[in-house]
Amino acid sequence: MLNDLTLGPSQTCGAFRLVPLLRKQHRTDLRLGLAKSAGFAVDLSKVVYTSYIPHALVVEWNDGSAPLAAVGTQLGKARRASPVQGVFHRMAKRLDGNRLRFLPLHLAMDGLLALHFGGPTVQWGDFSRQAMSKGMSPRVETSVPGWAITGFEEALRVFEIHEGQTGVLVFVADALATAFAVPHPDDYRVLHDALLQDFFGELIWQYAILYPDLPPCEFPAAAEGIHGIVDLRAAVEVMRDEWHAFGRMAAAGVLDVPVTAETVYRAGPFRLERFIGSLNPADENHIGERILAPDGSVQYLKTFRLSAAQTRRAYLLKQLADHDWSLESIAKKHRLTPNDVMLQYANAGYGWMFHQHVLDAAKAWARRQG
């Protein structure tokens, strides 16, 4: 996914390992910054997405005939969430000129919550009237703001920003929490502290508490092999390759796993997408957003790591949609009984979807099976 970015040497602070993302060349026809007003709410017609949203991003683009200046916004000293300033009626809204305002990560979370939201397409007798008439509403997922994660603010404060850096991989207890990338180094310097206003899963919050210290990631060169500048330069290149390989291995869950993407907006030659991972419970799963350039390079990226429970809930909904909401079809694929399948959904919090007498019969069957 990060085809034109290289990974620099990691830096550790407490439970956090921060890996810089570097670009050798950057585009001048796409820039990203913070919206001037902070604090938003969202009210979408018919389907309601409700969340506290501390900040929005603005992307600006042109046809490449002249370089763009940095989007004129700064985070300043406000490192905490701000009062709600307005209400959005769209996740991405065109502003004057070639400028688009959108809500970071909320585009992706809205896609997750709306995943297979509509309910059964066929009136299967197992499902309740509520499931068939109102779909999967309501669906709720919890998150933790970055500034509430122990040690994150300090890690960002002491982090050395490299020349040419346009992003960062954030690991907590060596679990990838988020990948963040922007088009231009100046954009990253403006948005570095904005990571505190993003949201993270409860798993990441717990890891920061449970694993307060990490070993440094070092690949020292053997002193006996250094006999001059040429040898030293070669050893440095080997170390850089090892740093890059380590970062890619640790971030394989977001860099190398196929995703399902949906185009949200076309901004001139650029494409804003939201995506979701495989939802395989055996995999590390992320959701996120990205802006792709015409050459396929990722100019903007922000991801959110799903917990095992969040992945399983989404996976179960995907199974229903893939099998046209037929429990018999799901059971046949996995060599289970329909009762087994129904109880899996009930244990994941979806018991309300079924008629109570049907669910009671499945539970009675399970008790008889021991």
Is the pLDDT confidence value at 34 over 70? yes
pLDDT digits (tens, 9 = 90+) for 82-138: 444 444 456 777 887 788 888 888 888 888 887 777 667 776 777 777 666 666 666
Pairing of strands 99-102, 175-181: unpaired
DSSP secondary structure code for residue 220 in this structure: P
Per-residue tokens: 358 = 């049907």
pLDDT digits (tens, 9 = 90+) for 269-324: 999 999 998 888 888 899 999 999 998 899 999 999 999 889 999 999 899 889 98
The pLDDT-based confidence of 36 (bands split at 50, 70, 90) is: low
Q: Which residues contact 339 (CB under 8 A, 6 or more apart)?
A: 361, 362, 365, 366
Q: What is the per-residue pLDDT for 155?
A: 94
- Annotate 168-190 with b (16+ C-beta within 10 A) or e (fewer): bbbbbbbbbbbbbbbbbbbbbeb
Mean pLDDT of all residues belonging to the chain: 81
* Cα dihedral 188, 290, 91, 253 sign: negative
Residue bearing the bigger pLDDT, 7 or 87: 7
Residue bearing the bigger pLDDT, 161 or 225: 161
What is the reported pTM?
Answer: 0.81
Q: Exposed, middle or buried by CB within 10 Å (0-12, 13-18, 19+), for 104?
A: buried
**What is the residue extent of each domain of the chain?**
6-310, 326-369
- Please tell me the least confidently modeled range out of 20-24, 77-81, 171-175: 77-81
Phi, psi torsion values for 257, nearest 5 degrees: -95, 130
- Please tell me the least confidently modeled range out of 134-138, 198-202, 337-341, 353-357: 134-138
Is the pLDDT confidence value at 7 over 80? yes
